[in-house]
Structure 1
Amino acid sequence: MKKAIVVLALLLVVGIVAAVVGVHYLAPPRSTSESGTKTGEADTSEVLVTVNGTGITRNQMDHQADLIARQRGIPDTPEQQSQYHAMLDPLALKSLITQILLKQAAVKESIAASLEEVEKEMNEIRQGFPSPETFTQRLQELGLDEAKLRQEIAEGMMMQKLVTLHTRQEVAVTDEDVQKFYESHPEMLTNPETIRASHILIGFDEKDTDETKAAKKKQAEDILAQLKKGGDFAELAKQSSTCPSKQQGGDLGYFPRGQMVKPFEDAVFALKLGQLSGVVETQFGYHIIKKTDQKPAGLPPLAEVKDQIREQMQQQKERGAFENYLTELKGAATITYSDAAKQMGVGQPTDLPPGHPGTEAAPESTPESASEAPVQDNPPE
């Protein structure tokens, strides 16, 4: 099974392994009082949702929302956190519901990761750090140790295997599928006119005096004269251009209209194939441009785009297969939502499959009813 379906599953559960590796996860969690309650908020031990008897507390939701916020690079100021967590809390709660459903299903089907698989992943994570000390420090910042991280890895792999097992037969894309998509969606595949060009730039900036700019223009004119006498464009670009493209002999690759600054675009699109421009001035400096290839607008041959089509269709089928499987799990589960969860928009009729018990009035979950279930303060993401 392609890794895309694994990514799909883990996008919904926001993996803690990513939190360990990602530098943008260094932001602290939302502020709490000494009792562990968010300042001005409800008790973090409040159970918001129960999934087949397993409770999800407000503290778990907060932890998950923090991970999502850090993953997305949301600033950790109180104002930003207040604004974004109003949107992220429902996403975090749904993510935790998904995690519990997947883990419960995996346990029921006796699906597990081997010690060898877990250790291999553990070693790959370690190798992402410059030293063992920085790896240990990162774990400590997240309140983890190696044993806990191994547990998180094992649970993530367990969910991955479950999703792969239940979607394997639904995501094959045939050549016939690709051909049909190509014929029925030409508007999605048609390319605009593109041009390939190389240039030599003699750059200037706003601090340059008129005399300096005049000298740079004279340099560009001298290079143009050399080119007209048969000079090698790529070699002169490597010697004289101030653009990073000099490393490729001035080659800018293919580009459509609207990508370059207007004076440059007007000049290059007016050229014939293989023709040199004069000295063209833009805000970046003086350019000498050579048009090296062009592709007319139109539908490319199937051979050029079949891999792209197949990949897009594969991703769509994987997404649909995973969502269908998740809907099945939700439909077979007993999920109860507290009033607080419903106020976030989680557990509303539009959020549940048809006929699900949660579409009817459900009793509010309580800490007592959830105390019998294995609730963790920091659940696997």
Structure 2
Amino acid sequence: MPDIIARVNGQPLTRNDLDNAIQGYALQHYRKSMDQLSAEQLRQATELALEQLLARQLLFLQALAGGIVAPVPAIEAEQERLCANFPSAKEFFATLAKAGISPADHFRMLRQDLTVNLFCERQLAELAPPTATELERAWNEQGPRLQMPLKIRAAHLLIRDPGGQSAPARQKCAALAAEATPENFAALARQHSACPSAASGGDLGWVRRGTMAPEFEDLAFDLPAGAIGGPVATQFGWHLVLVLERQEARPLSREEALPQLRQKLHEERRNQALQALVRDLIAAADIRLFDATLPWPSSLSSPG
């Protein structure tokens, strides 16, 4: 019998549902599994995951009531996109397994997420775009602070060693570091790297902060163009990093800023409309939380 922690309009939410939501939050925001979080990170992840879980369950039930379900090809495509963030699909599913998420659970989570996204897109499709007056006001208020962030074009070589604990793996990476030059880096990556980027000489393209493992970024973004750094350990193993090019941060021109401001205003309008929709669903919902140790989400007025 599953451990039911809540019911949303009569539909059960289990401890496994919450754990999966916490694991998803941990992987997305901390790039860690739940058991690797600090006490404060776990508290925050639990509170936000529960709030999101209840809201998305309400949206999911509303979508199903309207006959909206994400198609299987879209779910499979999203799974492939997520796999691309890992050295291999095997590594991706191993990370999920370590977090206690089975392939079936992950597919079900993606189905719910994409169904909710599809429902929200249809609900918000008629929102009016920002006006010229709103854009001009946003430019006057925010323009001087807007910047094009630093980005680098980087290549890397990965010696697989999840957790970075293997001395032989580190020694192999260190030996390659002693051999590597900007001229032979691509050839070494093609021969030795365990990352799919090996096929392109380790080239990762242009990247910004917040898109790679923190340890990788701390090294890569401090390197000048043409420099090689490492070995550095991440959850995937040991890396050598070559910075091919750097584009330093700079202020945005008005022409560059207006599309970003338009998108920002549109997203703010979407978020406000979505929050109003969720508030309406919550107000009409029967939500009962059975585990007194869980934090009651701030978006709900009182326990059911």
Provide the TM-score with structure 2 as the length reference.
0.54
Match of 1:316 among 265, 268, 273: 268
Note the 1:4-83 alignment, pairs <5 A. Answer: 45=3, 47-73=4-30, 81-83=38-40
Per-residue deviation, 1:158: 0.9
Match of 1:188 among 115, 135, 142: 142
Q: CA RMSD in A?
A: 4.0
Question: In 1, distance between residues paired with 2:83 and 2:277?
Answer: 33
Deviations 1:129-157 (A, max 9, x none): 55554455455445555555443333222
- The structure with the largest strand share of the pair is 2
Give the 3 Å change call, closer, same or farther, for CA 137–57 of structure 1 in structure 2: closer
Q: Which runs of 5+ in 2 are unaligned?
A: 147-222, 228-244
Answering whether residue 65 of structure 2 is matched by residue 108 of structure 1, we say: yes
**Partner of 1:333 in structure 2?**
285
Per-residue deviation, 1:50: 1.8
Question: In 2, distance between residues paired with 1:67 and 1:316?
Answer: 24
> For the Cα contact (< 8 Å) 1:75–1:81, is it kept in 2?
no
Match of 1:119 among 64, 76, 79: 76
Question: In 2, distance between residues paired with 1:114 and 1:66?
Answer: 24
Question: In 1, distance between residues paired with 2:6 and 2:34?
Answer: 28
SS of equivalent residue, structure 1 residue 318: helix
Question: In 1, distance between residues paired with 2:71 and 2:59?
Answer: 18
**Partner of 2:175 in structure 1?**
none
Answering whether residue 295 of structure 2 is matched by residue 344 of structure 1, we say: yes
Answering whether residue 130 of structure 2 is matched by residue 179 of structure 1, we say: no
**Partner of 1:244 in structure 2?**
224
Per-residue deviation, 1:72: 3.1
* Number of residue-to-residue matches in the alignment: 211
Match of 1:92 among 27, 49, 53: 49
Q: Which runs of 5+ in 1 are unaligned?
A: 1-43, 193-242, 257-299, 353-357, 363-381
Question: In 2, distance between residues paired with 1:181 and 1:95?
Answer: 30
Note the 1:289-308 alignment, pairs <5 A. Answer: 302-308=254-260
Question: Aligned partner of 2:143: which letter?
Answer: L
> For the Cα contact (< 8 Å) 1:166–1:325, is it kept in 2?
no
SS of equivalent residue, structure 1 residue 169: coil
